[in-house]
Amino acid sequence: MYFIVTGAAGFIGSKLVEGLNRRGVDEIIAVDTLAHADKFKNLADAEIADYIDYEEFILHLDRYEGAVTAVFHQGACSDTMETDGRYMLQNNYEYSKRLYEWCQEEEVPFVYASSASVYGAGPEFREDRSCERPLNVYGYSKFLFDQYVRRRLKLKERRAQVAGLRYFNVYGPNEAHKGRMASVAYHAYQQLLSAGRVKLFVGSDGYGNGEQRRDFVYVEDVVDVNLWLLEHGAVSGVFNCGTGRAQSFNQLAAAVINAAQGTMLSVKDMVGKGLIEYIPFPPQLVGKYQSYTQADLTRLRGAGYTREFRPVEAGAAAYVAELANR
């Protein structure tokens, strides 16, 4: 019996494959597209049973009838600046619907990636329709599928577990291929190496320079929630996946710098030393930018998930150590 991971060569998908391997699972069908070939590096050390192209997979689901234990659906177009709405909805919405329906027919658990982008500018981040106002078509595609799942849960048509995780700002190893869409932590480390300083945006939406706040969640914690759901098949629904703790971009940058340099400097000291520099806010992001996010974990905790999430100080230290080793 196989575990299927879509987006398996990507950031979170490859870490999920790694997490399954740690549990002794290697009967994994890795589904992705290698149009950007460098992603293969994320799977080079993984143990999998087979690899299949993302588009080919959905056309031949019948090959896997009766042979699948669970599906982790991480594959999606995650470019928040994508302007082709037809492509976004076909890739993120229609594909997800087809895979969900197949899992229900096969009575296979289906755990999928949603996004905190469904909340838009907030200010509340609860899994409730009143809080959901996506700012871009990426967020809308994720919102639409969440709504699709919710309708089916209400109709009580479900034959197998279905759980969506609204990822907040995930950072950690295996994201280098994402380029400009990689995390602030990744870019901070690269800027520190190349230029000796980290660039953050000046203040916006009432926040001071670098004081915009996000719920930054380390990728290993995200993997842990996914695998916990696999162990708790009675848990279905849409859940936030973040730390429940908003921290500033300044705090994240400082955590990266201190971890990289073995220091304990404050943000003020770093600004004074030129280690943090504030740059103009990009006009193309005006009205499309989340200056504040913080996961409400009430529903996830209520479902029984009790483990703690790393703050940026701990997550950045682990991430910088990994980047330095590579």
For residues 21 and 98, state if they share a domain.
yes
For residues 131 and 195, state if they share a domain.
no
Task: List, for residues 133-167, the tens digit of each pLDDT value.
Answer: 998 999 999 999 999 999 999 987 778 999 999 99
Q: State residue 82's pLDDT score.
A: 65
Instruction: Tell me the pLDDT band of 80, cut-offs 50, 70 and 90.
Output: low
For residues 100 and 116, state if they share a domain.
yes
Name residue 107's amino acid: E
Please report whether residue 79 resides in a domain: yes
Please report whether residue 158 resides in a domain: yes
Q: State residue 283's pLDDT score.
A: 84
Instruction: Tell me the pLDDT band of 176, cut-offs 50, 70 and 90.
Output: very high
Please report whether residue 207 resides in a domain: yes
Q: State residue 84's pLDDT score.
A: 73
User: Which domain CATH number covers 199?
Assistant: 3.90.25.10
For residues 285 and 298, state if they share a domain.
no
| Chain mean pLDDT for the chain | 94
For residues 284 and 149, state if they share a domain.
no
Taking residue 124's Cβ as centre, other Cβ atoms within 10 Å add up to 11
pLDDT (mean) for 35-59: 94
For residues 166 and 29, state if they share a domain.
yes
Please report whether residue 153 resides in a domain: yes
Number of domains in the chain: 2
User: Which domain CATH number covers 105?
Assistant: 3.40.50.720
For residues 121 and 202, state if they share a domain.
no
Catalytic residue of the set 41, 97, 178, 288: 178
Tell me, yes or no, if 156 is annotated catalytic.
no
Structure tokens at 247: 């921290």
Tell me, yes or no, if 178 is annotated catalytic.
yes
Please report whether residue 314 resides in a domain: no
Q: State residue 251's pLDDT score.
A: 98
In order, the DSSP letters of 267-319 are HHHHHHTTSEEEEPPPGGGTTS--SB-----HHHHHTT--PPPPPHHHHHHHH
For residues 138 and 115, state if they share a domain.
yes
Please report whether residue 315 resides in a domain: no
Q: State residue 78's pLDDT score.
A: 67
Query: Percentage of the chain with pLDDT > 90?
Result: 83
Query: Percentage of the chain with pLDDT > 70?
Result: 98
Please report whether residue 125 resides in a domain: yes
For residues 191 and 237, state if they share a domain.
no
Q: State residue 318's pLDDT score.
A: 97
Catalytic residue of the set 138, 140, 218, 319: 138
Task: List, for residues 179-227, the tens digit of each pLDDT value.
Answer: 888 999 999 999 999 999 999 999 888 899 999 999 999 999 999 999 9
For residues 16 and 154, state if they share a domain.
yes
Helix (H) or strand (E) holding 240: strand 237-241
Domain that holds residue 226: 2-171+217-244+294-309
Please report whether residue 233 resides in a domain: yes
Task: List, for residues 272-314, the tens digit of each pLDDT value.
Answer: 999 999 999 888 887 778 899 999 999 999 999 999 999 999 9
CA atoms within 13 A on the CB side of 261: 18
For residues 108 and 57, state if they share a domain.
yes
For residues 49 and 167, state if they share a domain.
yes
Q: State residue 79's pLDDT score.
A: 67
